[in-house]
Chains A and B, each alone.
Chain A
Amino acid sequence: MRRLSYLEASRVAVAEEMERDPLVWAVGEDLGRGGVFGQYKGLAEQFGPDRISDAPISESCIVGAAVGAAMMGTRPIVEMRFSDFALCAVDELVNQAAKARYMFGGQTRVPIVVREPIGMWRSSAAQHSQSLEAWYAHIPGLVVAVPSTPADNRALLKAAIRCDDPVVFMEHKGLWPLEGEVPEGDDVAPFGKARLVREGGDLTIVSWSAAVHTAEQAAGELAGLGIETDLLDLRTLWPWDRDAVLASVEKTGRLLVVHEAVAVAGFGAEIAATVAESCHAALKAPVRRLGAPRVPISYAPPLENEVRVTAEAVVAAARDMTGQ
């Protein structure tokens, strides 16, 4: 074990996989100087400018070129800086990367990792703060990873780089400095396996990315009130750990989904619907979702905070659901 930040853990993952496989390379704006958040610092010196490649501000070509380079046998890691900017490359990701294997009848694979940092971060406002994970969970062919801890950021990123299909890898910008224990060995996380953050019999909370930490804080407060929570961190949204969620709700009879993204048509809706379809008899309370209201994210901190899902909101919802 070693103590690393969420950001350092991602750098370690990239370096380890590039050491392991000479066909892995990374491309994106400003990578030569370490990337916009420093996730690639030192890697250009270690691996050279061909494998840690700068790119013009051409998002659609960054992703499109990665698709072509992947079809030709390399394994590109694509850096989008902000998930918001990746919207300039939706054709390349959705129509090209996600479709090529299928529409060409299995003649090719597109092993790319598209890193798209998400989330609210220091008054970044409407075009640098979105959490758009549900968009990509909707698209057949894509894997969607949403790590919440340093250990998972390393283990999931390593798995994403080794995956033979396109992976949308969404790190939360607010988590970059978060420190945690990270294993030393060749730790590769399986996709579609939730992490049980906390165990309890009264209520199931399902969350991912930074909202896991909000939920964890709330679960601690709820324990003080005598409400014990099963807290599941999904880690990946496609595939998502349906079995773990259903088993937990069968046990607790209550489901609360907590995510930072807009609640309307968010991935929480998919989880709520699945639980409603599969666990109706076990439910002791209506399923609940907590997400952002359907408004763009503001610049001024008090306005930004208006749309944030807080631990207080989670506690209030849980108390309401359990009648305590």
Chain B
Amino acid sequence: MPGRSSSIASNLNVDRHLAQFREMCRIREFEKAAIAAAEEKLVLGAIHPSIGQEAVAVGVCSNLRRDDIILSTHRGHGHTMAKGADALAMMRELFGRAGGTSQGKGGSMHIADFEVGMLGANGVVAANINIAAGAAHAIKLKREDRVVVCFFGDGAINRGPFLEGLNWAGVFKLPILFVCEDNGFASTTRTQSMTSGDGPAARAEAIGIKAETVDGNDLLAVDEAARELIEVARRGTPRFLLARTYRLTGHTSADTAPYRPQAEVEERWRNDPIANTRKVLAGAGVADADLAAVAAAAEREMKQASETARNTDWPARELAFTDVQDIGDPRERAY
């Protein structure tokens, strides 16, 4: 059951959805460029592409203000870009170069841009749920008009912070929207095979957080659901959005995902959220040439970002010793 889907409304906001389409294309092209660079051993470590999940990132984040907050997962490029981070700075971070969002000290798995309210991807599954609850707690203590969105995957619902963080948000009535991106896989294992009960939405409801389920490959449906839920959450009633989607790549860019049949993947590619959005916009009268131009511009931008990143210097070596802590500075007694 994919959940709530959009009905093609006659009063379609073409400008809004075109901008969202553009952002989805940028995310897709960013990750394609990053994967290509990883194959060249220029992007290092592990990268976790979100190809196929772009409608969730964009549909949710386009309902946020610049000073609203998001927290993300190891699969966080899309969320970060959708919240407004600079793609070149992100690309430099993936290449481990100077001028990266985290000065080359975090890489893909710790992508973050506090300037745009993106408080970090996290290398530990579900760890961001508690931190997000705390960010919302601070907003409440400071009586600010902001909201937190916490993205996590279906695998995260089997870790303790899912229970603790959702309960915390409910107890303290925090301005937070939990977004579970159900892409079917917990690392390289089908999540359902390792999950008892009725899954993420049922668990959220059991903790007292009202949940809505949406087709995560339907941009308009995500956009509409997120708008409604964020409005409620902003007033201090936590909400939960389950977005059903599919991870079109492996767990990492190096994972060929032999644990799933090729036919399944091919079928899922026919439900590519970017192609779906393109169809909706074409149906609303946007010229195919215009849509193609948007996609081509995104591709050019990200190829250029990759080119620039590979020609950027490494970070200065002394950065290995900075930002550890103020007192007990390791530069004094490194060894």
Task: Tell me the complex Cα distance, A6–B164, Å.
Answer: 33
Query: Which stretch from B129-137, B179-187, B256-264, B305-313 is at the chain A interface?
Result: B129-137
CA distance A170 to B130 in the complex (A): 23
**Would you list 11 pairs from A and B whose C-beta atoms are within 8 A, ordered by A residue?**
A69-B138, A70-B138, A71-B131, A72-B139, A103-B105, A105-B101, A106-B103, A106-B322, A107-B102, A164-B326, A239-B328
**A95 neighbours in B (Cβ, 8 Å):** 123-124, 127
Q: How far is the CB of A137 from chain B (nearest CB, A)?
A: 10
* Contact between B323 and A102, CB atoms less than 8 A apart: yes
Would A61 and B168 count as touching, CB distance under 8 A?
yes
- A108 and B119 contacting across the interface, CB-CB below 8 Å: yes
Residue of A nearest to B137 (CB): A69
Task: Check: A191 CB closer than 8 A to any chain B CB.
Answer: yes
Instruction: Judge if B270 is at the interface, Cβ distance under 8 Å.
Output: no
Tell me, in angstroms, the Cα distance from A128 to B102 when the chains sit together. Answer: 39
Residues of A within 8 A of B119 (CB): 68, 71, 108
CB under 8 Å from chain B, chain A span 77-103: 91-92, 95-96, 100-103
Q: Given the complex of chains A and B, what is the CA–CA distance between A56 and B133 in angstroms?
A: 13
For residue A58, CB closer than 8 A to chain B, the reply is: yes
Given contacts A64-B131, A105-B102, A107-B114, contact A58 B328 (CB under 8 A): no
CA distance A70 to B135 in the complex (A): 8
Partner of A91, one of B71, B115, B124, B324: B124
Contact: B324 with A140, CB < 8 Å?
Answer: yes
Residue A50 at the B interface, CB < 8 A? Answer: yes
- Name the one of B120, B133, B141, B322 contacting A64, with C-beta atoms under 8 angstroms: B133
- The reply on B155 being an interface residue by CB < 8 A is no
Q: Does B171 belong to the interface (CB within 8 Å)?
A: yes
Question: A residues within 8 A CB of B165?
Answer: 61, 64-65
Judge whether B130 and A140 touch: CB under 8 Å: no
B323 near A64 with CB under 8 A, answer no
Chain B, Cβ-Cβ closest to A25: B141
Question: Would you call B102 and A58 a contact (CB within 8 A)?
Answer: no
B73 interface contact, C-beta 8 A: no
- A65 and B170 CA atoms in complex are apart in Å by 13
Closest chain B residue to A165, Cβ basis:
B325
A155 touches B (CB below 8 Å): no
Residue among B120, B130, B167, B325 having the largest count of chain A Cβ atoms under 10 Å: B325
Q: Which of B131, B134, B135, B323 contacts A105 (CB 8 A)?
A: B323
As a 0/1 sequence over residues 38 to 72 of chain A, the CB contacts with chain B under 8 angstroms (1 = contact) are 00000000000011000110101101111111111
Q: Let me know if B324 and A65 touch, CB within 8 A.
A: no
- B106 surroundings in chain A (CB, below 8 A): 103-105
Chain B residue with Cβ nearest A92: B130
A68-B134 in contact (CB<8A): yes
CB–CB A68/B130 < 8 A: yes
A123 interfacial by beta-carbon distance below 8 Å? no
Say yes or no: is A242 at the interface (Cβ < 8 Å to chain B): yes
Closest chain B residue to A166, Cβ basis: B325
Contact between B138 and A73, CB atoms less than 8 A apart:
yes
CA distance A273 to B231 in the complex (A): 59
Of A67, A164, A242, the most chain B CB neighbours within 10 A belong to A67
Residue of B nearest to A64 (CB): B130
**Chain A residues with CB under 8 A of B123:** 95
Which single residue of chain A is at the shortest CB-CB distance from B69?
Answer: A72
Interchain CA distance A222-B84 in the complex, whole Å: 68
Interface residue ranges of B300-335 to A (CB < 8 Å): 322-328, 330, 333
Residue of B nearest to A50 (CB): B141
**In the complex, what's the smallest C-beta–C-beta distance from A274 to chain B, in angstroms?**
9
Query: Does B160 sit at the interface, judged by CB under 8 A?
Result: yes
Residue of B123, B135, B165 most packed against chain A (CB within 10 A): B135
- Does any Cβ of B come within 8 Å of A74's Cβ? yes
Whether the pair A61, B333 counts as a contact (CB closer than 8 A) is: no
Check if B168 sits within 8 Å of A56, measured CB to CB.
yes
**A68 proximity list for chain B (CB < 8 A):** 71, 119, 130-138
Q: Which of A56, A105, A106, A141 contacts B171 (CB 8 A)?
A: A56
